[in-house]
Amino acid sequence: MPAEHHPLRAVLETVGPQSCPGELNFHCHTICSDGSLEPKDLIQQASSNGLRHLAVTDHHSSAAYLPMQAWLRAEQEQGQPVPTLWTGMEISCILRGCLVHMLALGFEAGHPALAAYNRGDAVVGEALRADSVVKAIHDAGGLAVLAHPARYRLGFRELIDAATELGIDGGEAWYDYDMQPHWQWTPMVCEQIDAQLKNLGLLRTCGTDSHGVDLKGR
C-alpha cells in the first residue's frame, strides 16, 4: 500500500499538542523491551484512560501486539468500547553518522521485511543504515517516523532534513523532553519541530514514551 493511502494517515493528520496523553499515544513500551507493564496491563490502562488510538513501540520487538489484540477482541465481543491498536516498533539506526530511533507504525504484523529488526536487538552492518530501515518499514506497509528528534547528538533540524531525503513519513512533534511525572509537551522545541515537519509536508505524531506503570508519564 502506498504511504499516501495508509489508513493511519487520517488519524495522524489530526495530531496536535493536546492529543497526548488523553486521546492518542504512538510511543510507549512494555516488558517486551524495556518497559514495566505487561502487554495486557498496558492495553487495559489505555482502554480505561479512554485512548482512541495507540501503538506500542517496543525496541526491536512487536511481541506485545498479538496479546493486546486478543484482549481487545474479547472486550469488543462483550460490547465494550476499545481503542484502535496499531502495530508499532522502535528501531535503532544510523542517520548522518548519528544513532537515532525510527518508529515503525501501522505495518503488516509479521511481515518478513521487518524480521531482522524484530529480534530484540539492534542490527549491524548495512541494515543499520537509516535508509535501509525506512525501506524495510515501507516494504512492510508501515509509516516511518523519526522519534523524539531533539534527543540526539545532532540537532533536530539537520536530522529531520536528512530523514526527509530518505523518504520518512513524519516525525514525533509532541514529546516531553523534560520527562515529567505527568506528560507535558515541551514548549518552543516541540513547536519548532512541528513547524519544520509541517513545512516539509510531513506527518506529526505524539507519544508519552512511557517505560513505567503509568501511560500518562515517562
CATH number of the domain to which 40 belongs: 3.20.20.140
Mean pLDDT of the chain: 96
Name the band, by pLDDT with cuts 50, 70 and 90, for residue 3.
confident
> Cα(51)–Cα(210) distance, rounded to whole angstroms?
14
How many independent structural domains does the chain possess?
Answer: 1
User: Does residue 91 form part of some domain?
Assistant: yes
| 135-183 pLDDT, tens digit each | 999 999 999 999 999 999 999 999 999 999 999 999 999 999 999 989 9
User: Does residue 104 form part of some domain?
Assistant: yes
Residue 55 has pLDDT above 90, yes or no: yes
> Cα(137)–Cα(161) distance, rounded to whole angstroms?
19
Where is pLDDT greater, at 1 or 85?
A: 85
User: Does residue 36 form part of some domain?
Assistant: yes
The two beta strands, 203-206 and 143-146, are unpaired
Span 180-187, average pLDDT:
95
User: Does residue 218 form part of some domain?
Assistant: no
Q: Which domain holds residue 94?
A: 3-206
User: Does residue 49 form part of some domain?
Assistant: yes
User: Does residue 141 form part of some domain?
Assistant: yes
Model pTM score: 0.97
User: Does residue 144 form part of some domain?
Assistant: yes
Starting at the edge strand found earlier in the chain, the sheet holding 203-206 runs 88-95, 98-105, 143-146, 170-174, 203-206
Query: In sequence order, which residues have a C-beta less than 8 Å from that of residue 53 and are 6 or more positions away?
Result: 11, 23, 24, 25, 26, 83, 84, 86
User: Does residue 212 form part of some domain?
Assistant: no
Name the band, by pLDDT with cuts 50, 70 and 90, for residue 2.
low
- Which pLDDT score, from 0 to 100, does residue 218 have? 78
In one letter, which amino acid is 141?
G
